[in-house]
Amino acid sequence: MRVAEPVDGSAGPDLGTVLGVWAHPDDEAYLSAGLMALARRAGHRVVVVTATAGEQGTSDPPLTPEELAHIRRRELQASLAALGVTEHHFLGYHDGRCAALPNTEAIARLGELVAMVRPDTVVTFGPDGMTGHPDHRTVSTWATAAWRAAGRSGRLLYATLTPAFHAAWGPVNDRLGVWMDGAQPPSTPTDKLALALELDDDLLAAKNAALRAQASQTAPLIAALGDETYRRWWSREYFVAAPG
């Protein structure tokens, strides 16, 4: 599917059954909460796979990785519920160590889920990993290989950004340190997008609720940016088709 201009939630592309494959809790919310809420609004099935519990995702010394993993699992469940998503699978890998795992095992596990779900649309990171995080890049490799092994059934969409997003939000992203050192965040011209979503009020409210549910990660950012700026920050979602 390709659109020359962003479509709002009421227009709604036909996503069919959606499978999202991500590395850590909150990846799915930032990059595809609107898409998931839109699919659920249309009555479609949405299944989310998360490789790790994100147990390293804090700078708060009193929290052990085990404690944070418990918190983030609970937060993710609440976040998905805000979008109407009830099907979720953890792969149970260690945060920050995905790149060290044998690819064959993870690809096989994802292949089993693809066969079970039979998605019409698969969404994940592009090879760039969005922020450049090694776990993100590795999950992109796994998801792409599983999709290809399944006969490229349905369409595989990579989350991306646009030059306009970078122009509008570059200073904010730089101040918050969104991109890892040496990362080259994606930037896709509008006419090359497979799908662009400009979230309507209802979808944006659902996305905001999903993000706020993951307070261990999002509360400091909301405090730094303010409610309205935070709400608008990821109010559009962009996807590019993976090469066959």
- Helix, strand, coil distribution of the chain in percent, nearest 5: 45, 15, 35
Contacts of 146 (CB under 8 A, 6+ apart): 21, 107, 110, 111, 113, 114
Cα–Cα distance, 130 to 140 (Å, whole number): 10
In this predicted model, what pLDDT tens digit does every residue of 131-160 receive, in sequence order?
999 999 999 999 999 999 999 989 999 999
> Residue 179, SS3?
coil
Structure tokens at 47: 């299944």
- Phi, psi dihedrals of residue 215, rounded to the nearest 5°: -65, -30
Question: How large a percentage of the chain has pLDDT more than 90?
Answer: 91
Rounded to a whole number, what is the largest CA-CA distance in the chain? 49
Contacts of 201 (CB under 8 A, 6+ apart): none
Structure tokens at 238: 């962009």
pTM of the model: 0.94
| Predicted local distance difference test score (pLDDT) of residue 244 | 75
pLDDT at position 7 over 70: no
Confidence band for 62, pLDDT divided at 50, 70 and 90: confident
**CA torsion sign, 128 to 99 to 123 to 147?**
positive
In what helix (H) or strand (E) does residue 147 lie, and over which residues does it extend?
helix 134-149
| Predicted local distance difference test score (pLDDT) of residue 13 | 74
Structure tokens at 155: 């369409």
Contacts of 94 (CB under 8 A, 6+ apart): 52, 55
Give the length of the chain.
244
pLDDT at position 60 over 80: no
Q: What is the CATH number of domain 7-241?
A: 3.40.50.10320
Residue range 198-221: mean pLDDT, rounded: 96
